[in-house]
Homo-oligomer: A and B are copies of this chain.
């Protein structure tokens, strides 16, 4: 093992880090459908979007033509704080599985936010600062996005207002403290600080909150304060654009060693990680230069790609954001309790939805207990305790490696390891204690939720 040519961890040199993000939409013949204004049913204009989002981010959101967008020097500098992230050859896992497959994973968890979210947080904070704003607002559930944004805002001396789902605020006090350590103002949602929060509290004083409610509060806070905008950590095309640093680094590192993945695997909630990981490979596929098997992995409890429908829907349960055409379970879909908080989203990125609809990628759903089984197996041999979200990709990577063991095929498998599970130990405790269950929504539940989609498009 020690004589292998390819090292355990491939780190690019800083000079080889991406200087441009890759905009996969430029290479798509059929583009994702445009965002619609729910009031008019017409495509959102830049002017309309600029009330909620920063100007340059609106331009990125609407840009379907430029294949490359320069990464500003300030963001490139910040990236050097935690990037390049390692591309790791899973020698230990391969050996444990006894597979002829070669397994690589791109590990995005070696920063204090614990995930890839920082890649987009710093970009969004930069553009907010450049626009001369005072601060930004956002929501957070599990807390990784909120932490990443806190770090980014701290760097640019921007005020950061995070609405954290109340039940998470209370159950994850450590995440909250990390955000506070970075100077963020963290408010349990629903709160008395917004009109929508006060209204919900009047009606449901005991509610633990929801992501939809937190989004509504964050958007209201952004639009009601002078010099503030709202930022989001996934789903939007601008976020996927920033996350392409993941895939671009992967591609450069693999090319350096003459490696080419046969299968690329990523977990998918809103799609930010998967979209970033696969982008340059998908670009080659779209241009007919190469072929890759690409697999999105989602929880069986929230199966938007595998069991949802492709239609216009609200991105938020509060129904105040633009409508997006996507694979969705309906904005009113209530996923069952699942420890992968980052994957409990009813919809999916418009880009990934369109690529999936065109048959350019596959999707699989996996059950929670099998995900934690894979997580534990991985942790014990690779030495990294993975986030529950990331472990969805591990599950399918192991499954594919075991198929290779049966067939003898020496496939090269690449998967995205988005983050660490240090703040998810309640979930691991449930698994360790044999108290973790699985839940799969019935066809009736999904049909009922989808029946309530807005009648547009």
Interface, chain A (partner B; CB < 8 A):
1-2, 7-9, 11, 13-14, 73, 76-77, 80-82, 92, 110-112, 114, 118, 151, 154-155, 173-174, 177-178, 180-183, 376, 379-385, 420, 422-423, 425, 428-429, 431-432
Contact = CB atoms under 8 A, between A and B. Distances in A.
Contacts of A180: 428-429, 432
Contacts of A183: 380
Contact of A7 (B13, B92, B154): B13
Given A80-B8, A174-B425, A385-B181, A380 B432 contact: no
Contact of A173 (B384, B423, B425): B425
14 contacts: A2-B77, A81-B382, A81-B383, A112-B383, A112-B384, A112-B420, A114-B422, A155-B381, A174-B422, A177-B432, A180-B429, A181-B428, A182-B379, A183-B380
Nearest to A379: B181
Contacts of A8: 14, 80-81
A37 B80 CA distance: 52
Contacts of A110: 110
Contacts of A13: 7
A250 B111 CA distance: 21
A183 B380 CA distance: 9
Nearest to A2: B77
Contact of A177 (B174, B382, B384, B429): B429
A82 B112 contact: no
A220 to B, nearest CB: 26
Nearest to A425: B174
Nearest to A113: B383
A135 to B, nearest CB: 16
**Residue of A7, A82, A385, A428 with most partner-chain B CB within 10 A:** A385
Nearest to A88: B81
Contacts of A154: 380
A379 B81 contact: no
Given A9-B80, A180-B432, 19 more contacts: A2-B77, A8-B14, A8-B80, A81-B92, A111-B383, A111-B384, A112-B383, A112-B420, A118-B383, A155-B380, A155-B383, A173-B425, A174-B425, A177-B425, A177-B428, A177-B432, A181-B428, A182-B379, A183-B380
